[in-house]
Structure 1
């Protein structure tokens, strides 16, 4: 490898590593922020807006993982109690894992989709948070679609690009945009970063209530 190529590659690799570490730190901090919001009963909903959950299809699965994580801690502690150093490490890892699962659950509960005076804010998991203003939105319709497993979030058909924030491969609301609109997804290109999309599809637990809230503003 030439000196010039090494100089060009090293900063790029270091930059990617830095971005990855920064993203991991943000996710970790959001875990604890979600727990704090849950304890203080302060969901991330702007004044005048209504929140709509999207967690119902995965709620049972999340609770199963949380219960298993909680049960696992004393069992592993009993197995490794003769080795203090291992015991401390395993205990710390178990508590961290349980905390992480609780933070993920509370993220679904405390960071819902919202409909309000500023527009529609669509969310997914710990990172995705996209505000679509009413000026950007052409129409909102209740339209169920089931995609194939592992279908990319952004798909293109007939020259239009669609962002799909699915829940178990399903969406029930289609938000058609006035023009190609930039949205930012977690991570770096090609899958993350900024993308231009023509419509957005999301899952909502209460599509009837969601559409009623939309009609108050659109």
Structure 2
């Protein structure tokens, strides 16, 4: 007598799928929250803090994608309008894709880096949001660095670990920390989750204004 034995996903696979689903849902909700902030003109900046954009290197690319997506919707609709079974899903996917791209752009615009009484808040896109209090910060300096493409976000040298939030492989500000500090990144280890770093490098569109704001507190 034979039995039909089927393999089931192990607990680790199930957990990974669950985390992926939760992360995807959170990203989707952030898209609409960012669009709402954009329409209300309410960037995510705490009272008394100043915001500093980091979107200039990717702004043109995002705008081009949004324009192409907007043009693509009526073109595809014209092509498939005779087949309702195809037309409706294509239309829904097109509108969803356009909304997602616009929400991503709003995320860059509405979630800037901030400098304020509580410290520096480092951000990137939809998910990355790292608060660094002034007690954690040893120094802040302008230092332009261009890394090789596909260089990992976290790199190590002489026992120190650096988190680099690059724009087109570049950073212009280095934040040295007083001690190894735990920060939380999107995703799961080893690339995401809680990571301990000694310095953080970021891109800022206006590093002069950023440093001027830092000097008010440090």
What TM-score do you get using the length of structure 2 for normalisation? Answer: 0.96
Paired position in structure 1 for 2:173: 173
**For each residue in 1:29-54, what CA deviation from the matched residue of structure 2 results, as whole angstroms up to 9, or x when unmatched?**
00000000000000000000000000
Tell me the alpha carbon deviations over residues 57-114 of structure 1, each in whole angstroms, 9 at most, x when there is no partner.
0100000000000000000001100100110000000000000000000000000000
Report the Cα distance in structure 2 between the residues aligned to 1:185 and 1:90, rounded to whole angstroms.
Answer: 34
Name 2:106's counterpart in structure 1.
106
Please show how residues 27-106 of structure 1 align to structure 2 within 5 Å. Answer: 27-106=27-106
Alpha-carbon distance in structure 2 between the residues aligned to 1:140 and 1:189? 28
Q: C-alpha separation between the residues in 2 aligned to 1:156 and 1:39?
A: 41
Q: Which residue of 2 aligns with 1:3?
A: none
Unpaired runs of 5+ residues, structure 2, are 1-5
Alpha-carbon distance in structure 1 between the residues aligned to 2:196 and 2:187 = 16
Cα distance in 2 between the residues matched to 1:99 and 1:8 = 36
What's the counterpart of residue 158 of structure 2? 158
C-alpha separation between the residues in 1 aligned to 2:174 and 2:158?
Answer: 17
Q: Distance in 1 between matches of 2:151 and 2:42?
A: 34
Hey, what does 1:191 align to over in structure 2? 191
Aligned partners of 1:13 and 1:208: how far apart in 2? 47
Give the distance between the partners of 1:55 and 1:180, measured in 2 at CA. Answer: 28
Deviation at 1:9, TM superposition (A): 6.6
Displacement of 1:160 in angstroms is: 0.6
Partners of 1:163 and 1:9 lie apart in 2 by 34
Q: In structure 2, do the counterparts of structure 1 residues 9 and 179 end up closer, same or farther at CA, with 3 Å as the change threshold?
A: farther
- Distance in 1 (CA, whole Å) between partners of 2:62 and 2:9 is 41
Show the counterpart of 2:212. 212
| Cα distance in 2, alignment partners of residues 78 and 214 from structure 1 | 54
Post-superposition shift, 1:209? 0.3
Question: What is the CA-CA distance between 1:10 and the residue it aligns to?
Answer: 1.6
* 2:10 partner SS: helix
Displaced runs of 4+ in structure 1, greater than 4 A? 6-9
